[in-house]
Amino acid sequence: MATISDVAKHAGLSKTTVSRVINNSPHVAPEKREKVLHAMKELNYSPNPSARRMRGNIMTSIGVIVPRIVNPFFSYLVDSIEKAAYEHGYQVVIFQSDERREKELSFLEMLKTKQVDAMIMTAIENDWEVIESYKQYGLILLCNEYLLNKGVSTVRVDQMNATFIGVKHLIEKGHRKIAYCTGGLFADDGKDKDRNKGFQKAMKEAGLDVNPQWVFVERHSIEDGKKVADQIIKMEDKPTAIFTGSDEVAGGILVELKSNGFKIPNDMAIIGFDDQPLAEIIDPKLTTIRQPISKMGEKCVEIIVSQNQGKGSEIIDCELQNELVIREST
Amino acid sequence: MATISDVAKHAGLSKTTVSRVINNSPHVAPEKREKVLHAMKELNYSPNPSARRMRGNIMTSIGVIVPRIVNPFFSYLVDSIEKAAYEHGYQVVIFQSDERREKELSFLEMLKTKQVDAMIMTAIENDWEVIESYKQYGLILLCNEYLLNKGVSTVRVDQMNATFIGVKHLIEKGHRKIAYCTGGLFADDGKDKDRNKGFQKAMKEAGLDVNPQWVFVERHSIEDGKKVADQIIKMEDKPTAIFTGSDEVAGGILVELKSNGFKIPNDMAIIGFDDQPLAEIIDPKLTTIRQPISKMGEKCVEIIVSQNQGKGSEIIDCELQNELVIREST
DNA sequence: TTGTATGCGTTATCAT
DNA sequence: ATGATAACGCATACAA
């Protein structure tokens, strides 16, 4: 692999001049520039990023950590980040944490060692105090996941309101026995806490009680959804509607109920989350909450670009709104 | 960011000794080792990979280039590679080429500059001659995409046979008017050529002609599938079955036909490709070709690991078999 | 306008 | 068993 010295030798010039050409600084004679360029082509030379980084030279690459790339929400989010970053001349590298703390940490090390200049975290596995200690090494951005007032820029959606309008939609359809299914826990803190609050708020406003038997936690996949349906089928006192935390779970519930003779939405109204492609091909088509994924990606990149250009390092908190997409399952 | 010198100073020892501890080479007194370890903790030290790479020290990271991460086939493939690699202590970085030649090249540069030690390419955008020139910088592996006898290790599936058994299944169900829908072109070379051959072989063996009107090319999405359905609906002479190159397209066709009063599979049998999650939640459930995605990922990592351990650098050509999953749409 | 010398953080070599 | 030093490839301060 050719080095800058090889190019210099080949061109009969010094390394400095070659470096000047590479970084197109002025004060280099056109003819010499040509010579250098020619030598670079000839030797198929490209600068060694490791060496550049060692010199403290900042690169333009953005890391994105996702828990599970097979989750369409995250793959679409990554896609939008990648496209937006490309427009600005940034390269994106994607990491899958698999929801493991140690993987997340090993990725953050890349920030520490300047392998990437900024890291977008779409979920958080470790305690914030741990992650925060990496802030000194580069820009950390939270996207989707968020922690308020922790001194970190954030792009997020108003999950509480999203859930609120979803549940309210069910209530307006006349439902009073509403089940709730989440990917997180049904606690006031931790994962999906805002969605929980939105659910509780909507129920309370309508004077409805939350039936703990109708609350399902930590459900993620189509399979999980089918199991939830099986549980509901066996209940004496069944809900008439269910709000779920993902289209996949909603899809699983829908399919399993259908194959057990339930009519959707008459026997059970179902509402999903994310507006994934499957929402439109399932029968009946799924009512769901659409996330502003493209905007999220664009906003993340916008923040990184502006901060990288040294236009200040203020903490930005960007909140975007979800949208209720009413189809046939409610 | 603490360096090895800081640690050395802090421990009252030399950089060399610290380095020895880091790379746990022998010949270092237990008490000094302790001192170093302690200093490392104290200073929150971690080695700088850029510096290590400059020294020619190989790391253990694998790059994976995918055309589109939102395509479930690729996201699941990446997932399986990531999991297998993790088992072997490798870190995986994912790149999206967006089917652009220049992006693919910029990713290959990472190989050249030792940012990654091996690159798994799941598609090829540039000419092989161009890509081949990067072989000297690190291990290149083709996964899914393949080029025979080009001196590159490959993990692939027998797409021709997969398509053959799929189409044969339709024929055995009594169909004689079979449509064909592909993501590539209907040519003897290029993308999806093997699938085309499999289709033609099955048709020929059954003494059936290929009706060019029933061949649809470059169809990828659910939307594309719906458009194909609309075309078919307008035809005077309609096929009774259709083989498609992806579950998404199949799903789009199925949904659109259904909403136009077609009964599946009676009025139209449909077969998809990939066995994506949606195949099982669509109604009727989709007959499809399952790809051995997990095996593909594992095999890729296995090859990289063994070659990296210097157990030879022979060219390996691994061909895996697909599996026909018969559900309700045929 | 061009070149020389230095240092970035590591590790291998060669002493001691 | 431990340490001093050179070298990896690059960009910059400084010199010419």
For testing contact with chain B, the best of A43, A50, A54 (most B CBs within 10 A): A50
Q: What is the pLDDT of residues B155-190, one digit of tens each?
A: 999 999 999 999 999 999 999 999 999 998 998 888
Distance CA B210, CA B213 (A): 9
- How far B188 CA sits from the closest chain A CA (Å)? 32
Q: Which of A51, A93, A133 is the closest to B94 by Cβ?
A: A93
- How far B147 CA sits from the closest chain A CA (Å)? 25
Comparing CA positions, the residue from A270, A276, A272 lying closest to residue A289 is: A272
Tokens (6 digits) for A309: 């250009």
pLDDT at B231: 97
Give strand letter and number of the nucleotide nearest A113 (CA to C1'): C9
Tokens (6 digits) for B300: 């890729």
For strand C, list residues 8-47 of chain B whose Cβ lies within 7 Å of it: 15-16, 19, 22-23, 45-47
pLDDT at B179: 98
* CB contact at 8 A, A216 and A181: yes
3-state secondary structure chain B: CCCHHHHHHHHCCCHHHHHHHHCCCCCCCHHHHHHHHHHHHHHCCCCCHHHHHHCCCCCCEEEEEECCCCCHHHHHHHHHHHHHHHHCCCEEEEEECCCCHHHHHHHHHHHHCCCCCEEEECCCCCCHHHHHCCHHHCEEEEECCCCCCCCCEEEEECHHHHHHHHHHHHHHCCCCCEEEECCCCCCCCCCCHHHHHHHHHHHHHCCCCCCHHHEECCCCCHHHHHHHHHHHHHCCCCCCEEEECCHHHHHHHHHHHHCCCCCCCCCCEEEEEECCCHHHHCCCCCEEEECCHHHHHHHHHHHHHHHHCCCCCCCCEEEECCEEECCCCC
Tokens (6 digits) for A79: 């896609």
User: Residue B73: how many CB atoms within 10 A of its CB?
Assistant: 20
Give strand letter and number of the nucleotide nearest B56 (CA to C1'): D8
pTM score of the predicted model: 0.88
When pLDDT is averaged across residues A203-214 and rounded to a whole number, the result is 97
Is residue B257 over pLDDT 80? Answer: yes
Tell me the CA–C1' distance in angstroms for B15 and C13: 14
Q: Which of A1, A109, A248 is the closest to B112 by Cβ?
A: A1
Is residue B311 over pLDDT 80? Answer: no
For testing contact with chain B, the best of A43, A48, A69 (most B CBs within 10 A): A69
Distance, first Cα to last Cα, chain B: 62
Q: Could you tell me which chain A residue has the CA closest to the CA of B110?
A: A49
Distance CA B226, CA B257 (A): 8
- How far A114 CA sits from the closest chain B CA (Å)? 8
Tokens (6 digits) for B56: 């020619």
Cβ within 8 Å, pair A50-B109 = no
Nucleotides of D under 7 A from a protein CB: 1-13
Q: Could you tell me which residues come within 8 angstroms of residue B169 by beta carbon, excluding any fewer than 6 positions away?
A: B271, B287, B324, B326, B330
pLDDT at A237: 97
For strand D, list residues 30-69 of chain B whose Cβ lies within 7 Å of it: 32, 51, 54-56
Distance CA A48, CA B131 (A): 19
Alpha-carbon B152 to chain mean position = 16
Question: Which has more confidence, B32 or A318?
Answer: A318
Cβ within 8 Å, pair B50-A46 = no
Cβ within 8 Å, pair B281-A44 = no
Q: Which of A91, A92, A280 is the closest to B222 by Cβ?
A: A280
Distance CA B14, CA A330 (A): 70
Burial class from Cβ neighbours inside 10 Å (0-12, 13-18, 19+) for residue B190 reads: exposed
Tokens (6 digits) for A271: 């509402």
Chain A hits for B53, CB-CB cut-off 8 Å, are 50
Q: What is the pLDDT of residues A279-314, one digit of tens each?
A: 998 999 999 999 999 999 999 999 998 887 655 578
Chain A hits for B68, CB-CB cut-off 8 Å, are 79
Tell me the CA–C1' distance in angstroms for A39 and C5: 24
Tell me the CA–C1' distance in angstroms for A7 and C1: 19
Q: Could you tell me which residues come within 8 angstroms of residue B328 by beta carbon, excluding any fewer than 6 positions away?
A: B264, B265, B284, B285, B286, B287
Distance CA A284, CA A328 (A): 5
The bridge status of strand B91-96 relative to strand B61-66 is parallel
Tell me the CA–C1' distance in angstroms for A56 and D15: 24
Comparing CA positions, the residue from B275, B72, B61 lying closest to residue A74 is: B72
Tell me the CA–C1' distance in angstroms for B51 and C8: 8
When pLDDT is averaged across residues A144-169 and rounded to a whole number, the result is 94
Cβ within 8 Å, pair A222-B280 = yes
Range with the poorest average pLDDT among A185-194, B67-76, B118-127:
A185-194
Tokens (6 digits) for A237: 């006192």
CA angle B222, B224, B225 (to 5 degrees): 65
The bridge status of strand A269-271 relative to strand A241-244 is parallel
Q: Residue A57 CB closer than 7 angstroms to strand C?
A: no
Tell me the CA–C1' distance in angstroms for B7 and D10: 25
When pLDDT is averaged across residues B80-104 and rounded to a whole number, the result is 91
Domains and CATH numbers, chain B: 4-54 (1.10.260.40), 59-157+293-320 (3.40.50.2300), 159-290 (3.40.50.2300)
Q: Which amino acid is at A51?
A: A
pLDDT at B148: 84
If pLDDT is split at 50, 70 and 90, which confidence band does B309 have?
low
Cβ within 8 Å, pair B280-A248 = no
When pLDDT is averaged across residues A49-57 and rounded to a whole number, the result is 83
When pLDDT is averaged across residues B273-293 and rounded to a whole number, the result is 95
Chain A hits for B115, CB-CB cut-off 8 Å, are 49-50, 115
- How far B208 CA sits from the closest chain A CA (Å)? 32
When pLDDT is averaged across residues B101-113 and rounded to a whole number, the result is 87
Cβ within 8 Å, pair A69-B50 = no
Query: Reduced to 3 states, what is the DSSP secondary structure of residue A118?
Result: strand
Comparing CA positions, the residue from B64, B73, B12, B85 lying closest to residue B42 is: B12
Q: Residue B213 CB closer than 7 angstroms to strand C?
A: no
Q: Which of A79, A252, A283 is the closest to B70 by Cβ?
A: A79
Q: Which of A75, A83, A113 is the closest to B48 by Cβ?
A: A113
Alpha-carbon A71 to chain mean position = 10
Tell me the CA–C1' distance in angstroms for A16 and C2: 8
Q: Could you tell me which chain A residue has the CA closest to the CA of B53?
A: A50
Chain A hits for B88, CB-CB cut-off 8 Å, are none
Cβ within 8 Å, pair B98-A115 = no
- Biggest alpha carbon distance in chain B? 88
* CB contact at 8 A, B220 and B249: yes
Bond preceding residue B292 cis, omega within 30 of 0: no
Phi, psi torsion values for B157, nearest 5 degrees: -115, 155
Is residue B312 over pLDDT 70? Answer: no
Name the percent of chain A lying above pLDDT 90. 69
User: Residue B261: how many CB atoms within 10 A of its CB?
Assistant: 8
When pLDDT is averaged across residues B64-84 and rounded to a whole number, the result is 95
Cβ within 8 Å, pair A51-B49 = no
Per-chain mean pLDDT for chain B: 92
Cβ within 8 Å, pair B115-A114 = no
Query: Reduced to 3 states, what is the DSSP secondary structure of residue A247?
Result: helix
Phi, psi torsion values for B263, nearest 5 degrees: -100, 130
Name the percent of chain B lying above pLDDT 90. 68
Q: Residue B15 CB closer than 7 angstroms to strand D?
A: yes
Give strand letter and number of the nucleotide nearest B20 (CA to C1'): C11
User: Residue B61: how many CB atoms within 10 A of its CB?
Assistant: 19
Range with the poorest average pLDDT among A80-84, A200-204, B5-9, B235-239:
B5-9
Question: Which has more confidence, A263 or A60?
Answer: A263
Highest mean pLDDT among A28-42, A113-127, A253-267: A253-267
When pLDDT is averaged across residues B202-226 and rounded to a whole number, the result is 96
Give strand letter and number of the nucleotide nearest B28 (CA to C1'): D1
Q: Could you tell me which residues come within 8 angstroms of residue B306 by beta carbon, excluding any fewer than 6 positions away?
A: B312
* Residue owning tokens 């901060």: A307
Cβ within 8 Å, pair B54-A51 = yes
- The alpha carbon torsion through A10, A12, A15, A21 (nearest 10 deg) reads -90
- The alpha carbon torsion through A274, A276, A281, A284 (nearest 10 deg) reads -10
